[in-house]
Amino acid sequence: MSLKIHNILPFVALFLVFQSCKSTEEEKAKPNVLFILADDFGYHDMSVMGSKYYETPNIDRIATEGMIFTDGYAACQVCSPSRASIMTGKFAARHGITDWIGAATGEKWRNAGRSNQLLPPEYNHALNKDYITLPEAMKEAGYRTFFAGKWHLGEKGSWPEDHGFDINKGGWDVGSPMGGYFAPWENPNLESGPDGENLSMRLARETVDFIKANKDTAFFAYLSFYAVHGPIQTTQEKWAKYRQKAEEQGIPETGFKMGHFLPIRQVQDNPIYGGLVETMDDAVGVVLKALDEMGLAENTIVIFTSDNGGVSAGDAFATSNLPLRGGKGYQFEGGIREPYFIKVPGMGNGQKCVTPVSGTDFYPTILDLVGAQLKPEEHNDGVSLLPLLKGENIAERPLIWHYPHYGNQGGEPSSIIREGDWKLIHYYEDGHEELYNLKNDISETSDLAAEFQDKKEALSKKLFAMLDEMGARYPERDPEWTQEKEDAHMKNVIEKRWPQLEKQRLQFLSPDFDPENNWWGSKVTRD
């Protein structure tokens, strides 16, 4: 008996080695995933989407080699809710992070000095740890997971490493690039580089280092740029390039139009923002080039999107989203419609898909693309887009947005539903509703609520049934609000803030513009 066991041991060992090799080969055969998320990057902030001002050849490449979802949406008009929806596959009303984490609620909102009619409701300030997030699901599927850049989904204890990422480079509490885009910066999870190192390029290099270290196994790399969030900064060379470009295209005397609460930028001619955009695109190019050089491009899914619309009002008033109305923080298409590109080797090839899709769909789509088991009990509000990538169809469904807050950019507390070509907006200040047919009116200029009363009522009923099922929270009236206070605030915006913005715009475009600080310190040489 002992002799028989002794004789069979070599065969057992050989079998185990074979199984181990087979397992390794299976891991290598799995497609890698590179997910690139820009911050505050608008639908028309790329050459491929029609911009005549910004230059984005590397982002354009992802679009033209993949599928362009023309009606791709973020799950909210501001950052934290959208980012949570990508991680969970849930609409904001369901996961409860309905505003950027750090925004004031209740009576504290009065400190903003806006004199608004409503007090925004409380919201969750971190991802729920009971959820199985997208990176956790990818780990279950055998993937190494990596995060670089902006997180903004909770304080320590709710950082990327607490929600499924093996490595975290730069993700922490805040949503803006503390210290700016040039080293030295202030980030507890990303050691500052030599003076003048660019943050976007650093995040790209960290991503490349991870890919190189894991090129022989399956990886999920999540590159989440702080760009192009304010403060907007660039190099002197790039500023000069885009200043000259604006001059060649013709500089209008005025660049803003008054919105409901703030002036809204109408032209793409900010040379500082143009340089910031190009640097982010350069960083994207660094990672794409690395995939090519390592022979990984043909086995890597690349996704590019943004967390909300470009900032046309508030913050840095950086870009225009026209012909889309509004921008970041707004209930209009400029606030929620995003660049939404999925590149799967062998699929897409620059084709355009007009089916409305959401940030909630990335979770199930990625699982489906890598052959992992879907988790419909987790990604409740997302569906796999694999059929669309194959040129097939998915069932029509309603998409909803819930933002019961005042945006820093001038947006109003509202909830939205889109179904087919129809979009309904419910406003919480006075309860009125607007109805638009996006197929015929992408700029949302013709409110059809009175003409199509039945459609308005049906969509409104469906919207609130979904919100109530998700446990949505709603704003309350501020008993201290008066029309006189609000009128006084708006008078100051129109008479002082608006002229200041027009003056600043022209200063940025002046040949002798001087920032009077070291925000283009990237000219510092490295020894």
Least Cα distance to 74 among 357, 304, 314, 394 occurs for: 357
CB-based burial label for 5 (10 Å; 0-12, 13-18, 19+) = exposed
Residue 29, pLDDT score: 76
Whether the CB-CB separation of 361 and 382 falls below 8 Å is answered with yes
Beta bridge partners of 72: 357
The predicted-structure confidence for 384-422, as pLDDT tens digits, reads as follows 999 999 999 999 999 999 999 998 999 999 999 999 999
Q: Which residues contact 46 (CB under 8 A, 6 or more apart)?
A: 54, 56, 59, 60, 63, 339
User: Hey, what are 229's tokens?
Assistant: 């969030």
Residue 469, pLDDT score: 97
Residue 241, pLDDT score: 97
Residue 156, pLDDT score: 97
The whole model's pTM is what?
A: 0.93
Indicate if the alpha-carbon torsion angle 362, 363, 365, 369 is positive or negative: positive
Residue 2, pLDDT score: 42
Q: Are strands 118-119 and 476-477 parallel, antiparallel or unpaired?
A: antiparallel
Domain boundary assignment for the chain:
32-515
Q: Which residue has the tokens 């099922």?
A: 469
User: What distance in Å separates the CA atoms of residue 226 and residue 310, rounded to the nearest whole number?
Assistant: 13
Q: What is the CA radius of gyration of the chain?
A: 24
DSSP for 130-187, written as a single string: TS--HHHHHHHTT-EEEEEE---S-STTSSGGGTT-SEEES--S-SS-TT-SBSS---
List the end-to-end C-alpha distance of the chain, in Å, as a whole number. Answer: 71
Phi, psi of 519, deg, nearest 5:
-75, -10
Residue 113, pLDDT score: 87
Whether the CB-CB separation of 224 and 37 falls below 8 Å is answered with yes
User: What distance in Å separates the CA atoms of residue 464 and residue 462, rounded to the nearest whole number?
Assistant: 6
What is 32-515's CATH topology?
Answer: Alkaline Phosphatase, subunit A (3.40.720)
Whether the CB-CB separation of 40 and 265 falls below 8 Å is answered with no
What stretches in the chain show pLDDT beneath 70? 1-28, 517-527
Q: Which residue has the tokens 């902030």?
A: 45
Whether the CB-CB separation of 370 and 362 falls below 8 Å is answered with no
